[in-house]
Structure 1
Amino acid sequence: MLTLAAKEIREREQFVLLDEQKVAFELVLRAVDRARAANTRTVVVVLGGPGPGKSAIALSLVGDLARRGRTVHHATGSSAFTRSLRKIAGRGNSRVQNLFKYFNNYTSAGPSDLDVLVCDEAHRIRETSVNRFTRREVRERAGRQIDELIDVAWVPVFLLDEHQTVRPGEMGSLREITAAAEAKGCAVDVVRLHGQFRCGGSAAYDTWVERLLGLDPVPPTPWSHLADSDDEFAVTTAESPAALEAWLSAQQAQHGGTARLAAGCCWTWSDPVSTADGKRLVDDVVIGDWSPPWNAKPEKRVPDAPELRASDPRGFGQVGCIYTAQGFEYDWAGVILGPDFVRRNGRWVARCEHSRDPAVKKADELPFAALIRNTYKVLLTRGMCGVGVFRPTRRPRSSWRR
C-alpha cells in the first residue's frame, strides 16, 4: 500500500475504488465543491473494520485534491504510519512530505485554513493535543483535539474503526465526532464500509478472529470448519515462536511479498545498549531459547536497525508491537499472543500484571480487557495472504488450530 501511496500522491490515480469506497470519495468531493460557494461545512465519517480500504480512500482523496490545487492534509495519531508516508510518498519532495501531519499539529491553526483534513485511523484521536513537549502558551489555550481537527478545515474527513482503540484516552468514535460537529453547526455524512480487501478478502477469517478473541458469542472454531474450499487465505498455528518465524520466512521465500512478526506488549521494551561495536537492540522478547529484539524506538536510533520496521526489509528480524503494526499491512503476518490474554476454563482472561505497556496496564479491569482484545484483533488482521499464530501454553490448541 505504501508504494501505491507514493505513486498516488506524486503521479496519478493508483487505487481502484469500489462500491462504498467510491461513495465516500465522491461524497467528500461534492462537499468540497459546495463548501466555499455556499459557506457550508460538512464533516464526513467513514466507518469500517480491518481491511475495507479506509486508507485507500484517504490517500486517494489526498492525491486527487492536491492535484486539483486544493489545500489538503493527511493526519494520523501514529508516529510510525505518518513517518512511513513522509519517507516513502514524500521521498525527496518537501512539499509532499508536508501533506502528512499528526492530529496534534493543529493547536495553533486558524479556522478553515484547509479545504480538507483527512484524519486516517481517527479512532486514535485523544482528548487533547497537549503533551509534555507542548509550550506553555499553547497549553494554556488548547482545547479538545476533536474540535481542533474539525475547526481547521471546511471538510474534515474521519476514517475509523471503533474496535481499534488500543490505549486509554483514545476517543475517536462516531458518537464523539457527531456530537462535536453538530455543536459547531456542521452537517454530518456517514459512510459504512462492508468490503474486505485484506486477509485475502476472506469473510470467514473475520469470523474466525472474532470467535478466537471472544468478540463473538460462539466459541473459538477451527479454521478448517469455517474456510470454504476455495478460500486461499492461509491460517496456521505454530508450536514455537522459532517455528512461526521459520514459517514466515518460508512463505516469503516461496511466494514473495513482505512478512513481519508482532506480539502483545508483554515484554520490557529496553533502550538500546552500547557495546564495543556500537549500539545494538536488546533481545527483550524472551520465550524459551528464542529471544529477538523489539522494533527500534523512534527516538533511539541504532545502526543497521531500521527506523521504520514495517516498510524496511531489515525489519523482519525485529518483533513489532501494536504501535508499529496498526495502520500497516503485510503479505504474511505472524502473531504471538502473550500472557496478558489467556484461556482459562473455556473463556479468555485479561491479565494486566503481564502487560508491559505503562499506559494500558493502568486501565481498569473491563477497559483493559477490551483494549487487549482490540490489540490482538489489529495484530491478527494485518496479513494480506496469510497469518501464523503462536500462543505460549501448556494446554492443547486443538480448539482453534487448523
Structure 2
Amino acid sequence: MVIEGGPGTWKSVMAVNLLVNLINEGLTALYVSKNSAPRNVYASKLKGTMKKTQIDNLFKGSGSFYESEKNEFDVLIIDEAHRLNEKSGLFSNLGENQIKEVIHSSKFTLFFIDENQKVTLKDIGSIDLIKKYANELNAEFAQGKLSSQFRCDGSDAYIAWLDDVLQIRKTANANNRGVDYDFRVYDDPNDMLREIEELNKKNNKARMLAGYCWEWPKNGRSNTLHKDIQIPEHHFQISWNLSDSIWAIEQDSVSEAGCIHTSQGLEFDYVGVIIGPDLLYQDNQVKTDYTKRAKTDQSLKGIKTMAKEDPAKAQALADQIIRNTYRTLMTRGQKGCFIFCTDPELNGYFRERLNRSVVYQDLSPRQGEVAAEERREY
C-alpha cells in the first residue's frame, strides 16, 4: 500500500504509531527508512525501561533486506519511501532493488511517500516503480492519500506559496502564504541564530539548518571549536551538527546547523535556514548552481560525469534536487521558518515576496467588504 502525503501531513507520526500498534497486536513489524536521523530520534524517544537493543532492532535502514527470506516479516513500514535507492551497501553494490526487496520480505509493505522530497541522484522511490514491483511479485496494490496539514501551522497555503516562490511550480498562492505561519527574512545570519536560540529555550524545538554548500570533513567532526559554515562578510560561523544520531533533540545542539540528511523526516517548531550559493536570483528568476555544492555532499555524486554526456539532463536533475532540498528544509518548521540567503539578490527577492504576501493578508474585514462591493459593481 502506498500513502502519499506532503510535508506536515504526519506521515512519520502515523508510521511510528502504526509500528507500536502492530507490535501490540503480536505482529512482527519494523520501521524502515533510508535516513538514519529519524530512526535514531524515534528510537531514542521510545526507549524507556526496555533494553536499547530491543528498540533499535525495530528500526532498520532500507538496505537491510537484500538477503531476507520471502515474507520474513508481517509488516514493513517504509517511511520517506521516495528516498529508497536501487542498490544497498557502502559501495552501492549489494542487492537488486530496495523497493523489490522490501515487498519480497514482507507479507504487507506500507510505503509513505512524497515524490517532491527526492534530494539525491540515488533516490528512486516512486509510486510507478512500487506498482511495477508489486505486479512483478504478484502483490495486491492499494493507494491512499494524507491531505490534512499539521505542520506549517496547519496551512497548505504556505507550502503552495513556497512552491511558487521557489519556482518549483506555479500555484494559485502567489501571494497567500497563510495567516498564522511565521516566515521571516534576515539580512544578518547572526540575528537569525540568536532568535532561534531564544525560541529554543521554550521547549528545545528550534534548530538551524543549512544547504550543503560547506564542506563537512570527517576529521574534527566532534570538535566544538571547528566552525564549518563561515560567512565572513557577516562575521558569522557555525559548525555542522556534531552528533549524527540525536542532534535534533539534544539540548545543546541549537547552536549547530543540520543539513538535509540530518533533518529530513523530522520536524521542529521553528527552523532557521541558511540558503547557500547553490540557490541564487538572476534575471528575475530563481536559479540553481550545482557547482556550489560541497564536495563532501554525496547528493549529486556523478553529476559531473553526467554533465559531460548530457548537460541538459544533468542540469535538470540537479536543479530539481536543489529546489527540493530547500523546499524540504523550509518545511521542517511547524510554527515558523526564518531564512538568510548568501546571495543578496535572492534575499531581496524573498523579502519582496514576503512583503507582497503581508500586504495581501492585511486587508481588514471592512476593506475586504469594500473590495467585494467594487467587484460586484464592476
Report the TM-score, using the length of structure 2 for normalisation.
Answer: 0.84
Give the conservation status (yes or no) of the 8 Å contact 1:353–1:361: no
| Residue in structure 1 matching 2:91, options 126, 132, 142 | 132
- Offset of residue 128 of structure 1: 1.4
- 1:235 equivalent to 2:175? Answer no
Give, in whole Å, the separation in 1 of the partners of 2:343 and 2:105: 50
> What is the correspondence of 1:339-354 to structure 2 with a 5 Å cutoff?
339-354=277-292
Give, in whole Å, the separation in 2 of the partners of 1:107 and 1:61: 24
Give, in whole Å, the separation in 1 of the partners of 2:342 and 2:130: 40
Give the conservation status (yes or no) of the 8 Å contact 2:160–2:177: no
Give, in whole Å, the separation in 2 of the partners of 1:327 and 1:172: 15
Taking a change above 3 Å as real, the CA distance of residues 209 and 57 of structure 1, as seen in their structure-2 partners, is same
**What residue in structure 2 maps to residue 270 of structure 1?**
217
Give the conservation status (yes or no) of the 8 Å contact 1:308–1:315: no
> What is the correspondence of 1:86-125 to structure 2 with a 5 Å cutoff?
86-91=43-48, 92-93=50-51, 94-125=53-84
> Which has more helix, going by share of residues?
2
**What residue in structure 2 maps to residue 47 of structure 1?**
4
Secondary structure at 2:237 match in 1: coil
- 1:193 equivalent to 2:146? Answer yes
Give, in whole Å, the separation in 2 of the partners of 1:285 and 1:211: 28
- 1:82 equivalent to 2:50? Answer no
Q: Which runs of 5+ in 1 are unaligned?
A: 1-43, 299-306
**What residue in structure 2 maps to residue 380 of structure 1?**
330
**What residue in structure 1 maps to residue 364 of structure 2?**
none
Give the conservation status (yes or no) of the 8 Å contact 2:290–2:322: no
| Residue in structure 2 matching 1:248, options 196, 199, 207 | 196
Give the conservation status (yes or no) of the 8 Å contact 1:339–1:392: yes
Give the conservation status (yes or no) of the 8 Å contact 1:281–1:296: no
| Residue in structure 1 matching 2:117, options 153, 164, 180 | 164
The CA deviation string for residues 116-146 of structure 1, in whole angstroms up to 9 with x for no partner, is 0000111111011233397xxxx4xx32211
Give, in whole Å, the separation in 1 of the partners of 2:36 and 2:337: 25
What is the percentage of aligned positions where both structures have the same residue?
28
**Stretch moving more, 389-398 or 66-75:** 389-398
Give the conservation status (yes or no) of the 8 Å contact 1:272–1:280: no
Give, in whole Å, the separation in 2 of the partners of 1:152 and 1:374: 30
Secondary structure at 1:273 match in 2: coil
Report the TM-score, using the length of structure 1 for normalisation.
Answer: 0.79
> What is the correspondence of 1:63-78 to structure 2 with a 5 Å cutoff?
63-78=20-35
Give, in whole Å, the separation in 1 of the partners of 2:177 and 2:223: 46
Give, in whole Å, the separation in 2 of the partners of 1:234 and 1:377: 16
Taking a change above 3 Å as real, the CA distance of residues 125 and 227 of structure 1, as seen in their structure-2 partners, is closer
- 1:226 equivalent to 2:173? Answer no
Give, in whole Å, the separation in 2 of the partners of 1:251 and 1:57: 27
> What is the correspondence of 1:131-150 to structure 2 with a 5 Å cutoff?
131-132=90-91, 139=94, 142-150=95-103
Letter in 1 for 2:199: Q
- Offset of residue 279 of structure 1: 4.3
**What residue in structure 1 maps to residue 208 of structure 2?**
261
**What residue in structure 2 maps to residue 15 of structure 1?**
none
Letter in 2 for 1:65: L
Secondary structure at 2:31 match in 1: strand
- Offset of residue 217 of structure 1: 2.4
Give, in whole Å, the separation in 2 of the partners of 1:192 and 1:63: 21
Give, in whole Å, the separation in 1 of the partners of 2:156 and 2:130: 28
- Offset of residue 84 of structure 1: 1.9
- Offset of residue 82 of structure 1: 1.4
**What residue in structure 1 maps to residue 371 of structure 2?**
none
- Offset of residue 256 of structure 1: 4.2
Give the conservation status (yes or no) of the 8 Å contact 2:5–2:114: yes
- Offset of residue 337 of structure 1: 1.1
